[in-house]
Structure 1
Amino acid sequence: MTTDSRSSAAFLVDESLGYLFPAALRAAAAVGVADHLTDGPRSPAELAEVTATDARNLSRVLRLLATRGIVAEDAEGRFRLTATGDALRTDAPHSARSAILMNTDRSLWLPAAEMDRCLTEGTSVFEGIFGMPFFAHFAQDEATAAVFHTGMAAMSDPENEPIAAAYDFPATGTVVDVGGGHGGLLLEVLRHNPGLRGVLYDQPHVLAGHRLDVEETEGRWSVAEGDFFSAAPPGDIHLLKRILHDWEDDRCVTILERCREAMAPGGRILVVDAVVPRDNAPHQAKTLDLLLMSALVGRERTEADFAELLAAAGLRITRIVPTPTVLSVVEAVAASA
């Protein structure tokens, strides 16, 4: 075996163990260990007592997290939370704890473990594991649905303000957030644009957790219940944030057609999604794409993919606006406009 071959083998073996880091991150998030590190370093024994865990095993988990800078171990064997790991706290301004628990939930973890079946069968393996499609499973399992919706809000919250600030919304009109969840993005859009009104459109059980009822948006919002495959509320701008990547092309075309039908004259559709770059550099969309492949039926898309998808729905791209996040705003109008 050549030196290059040995190096390759060592690298690949090390990479194959990489799944144990998110497993450790999930374990730490699940027991809430970061919440007990806000006042400074603590020993594994002290942490084990307040988290009702085994001190030795907790120490082993924290030791691995320390290799990625989530925590740091001092000479006395105590652990402290670092600036990098701060968002692991439940009460952090942009806590990632719920997002971590969602991304490592068994509903996503188990399909990823059987990703080879996606290659041989050409489809998601979720239904084969859980006995029903992804969203049907969430609809009948309240506990898992709560993990998903809370996790999505936690994943989205840090993105919403930069996205709202990056796009030049009109001074007046109605913005419809289609499948907008708890309304985090719509809330930031209304905050940045006091002349706009907003409609949060989603299913009843999702809307129950909305966060639009704050003083600065008083009188400028409403909620609407429905199914975005069937209809969309009328408006000047229709937002679709992290929606289309969940679905196959034909279903995306249906969603887009319903939005186009509901657009006011001169209206716009804003697809807020990752636009996969055509290079070899790391990008979150390239990773998330495999989650979508294994657990759902959707995919992340390139600019060419979006152009084709929108054209099939009678729309055309007018521009793509980058944001400080991993997402871009793909702006589209009616093809005849």
Structure 2
Amino acid sequence: MFNLACVDGFRYPGLDEVYVLDLIPLTQGPAAISSDQKLCLFNPLGLRPGPVKEFHTNHGNLTCAKAYDVNSAVVATAGEDGSISMWDLRQDGSRAEVARMTDNQAPVLSLACSSSGYSVVAGTELRQSQASILIWDVRSNPTPRHKYQEVHSDDICELNFHPSDPNILLSGSTDGLVNVYDTRITDEDEVIIQTFNHDASIHHAAFLNDTDVFAVSHDERFAVYSMAEDQEKGSALTNFGNMREILGCQYIANVSAKANGAGAVIGAGTHDQQMFELVHLSKGTTEWALDRANSVGLPGAHSSEIVRSFCFYDEAQMVFSVGEDGYIKAWKPGA
């Protein structure tokens, strides 16, 4: 394992304990959402002075965020009151919230954004026996252009668009299913083009490339599935099983696909060792495999607290992490 050194950091202030919930990598630098209901943008070259932009969201309780446009620093946030806000982080003060959308009273648990498809999608908590996927066209009025309300039987906790086709959407739910949709189809009986049954509550799921999809459950079971026509429908392309046993970790924070298509990075944490490990996932001729020999460690991590999210800026050779200790940290190769 090759270890990085923590070169910079910022701890969120306040009398109450603050959890940093997620990171959104933007061209200008990492943005973060936190349990004090804030959306913050940081200078990647200087975390210690604090955020360069800070906005207080108004969702009742902030639950999720996604980048709409990484280059223009436009971010969507959502929360417990069912609302979605669009933020232009280049703006200051009240001008930064450039749009607000809502169509339901159910808490929003997940978001997906596609600037090329002009789409923002929200996935809701199960309320009154219904969990919904709501799709807005940001060019039109605040009413969703599509609603899918019978595609999952439990909370919709993950949404992601296909890397090259803005019409193809993926969802994951605590009902154990990962669904892939063609959002040009309005009929709920026809909209699902593929379903993968992970047989465990989905924590994270997304596309690894144009055909392959990963799923990791809340009990850390991990598998890769394929939409390719020559693959048996619904079966796992590579089933890794329980990652706690395979990696010797206690939890998986997330899996981040590399932008150049060269595999993905799995973020695995171990509380009692105060360690967070970035393990490369690559595809061979037929199956996906872990490259433990070239994993990258963040020693000390976020002490014994959970690392909630990580992101990397390859050109700058920097990794950022956030955790339940209230810190955002920057990591680089040691001297």
The interval holding the TM-score normalised by the smaller chain is: under 0.3
- Which structure has more relative contact order (CA 8 Å, sep 6+)? It is 2
The structure with the larger Rg is: 1
Would you tell me which structure has more strand in proportion to its own residues?
A: 2
Q: Which has the higher helix share?
A: 1
Q: TM-score, normalised by structure 1?
A: 0.27
If the length of structure 2 is used for normalisation, what is the TM-score? 0.27
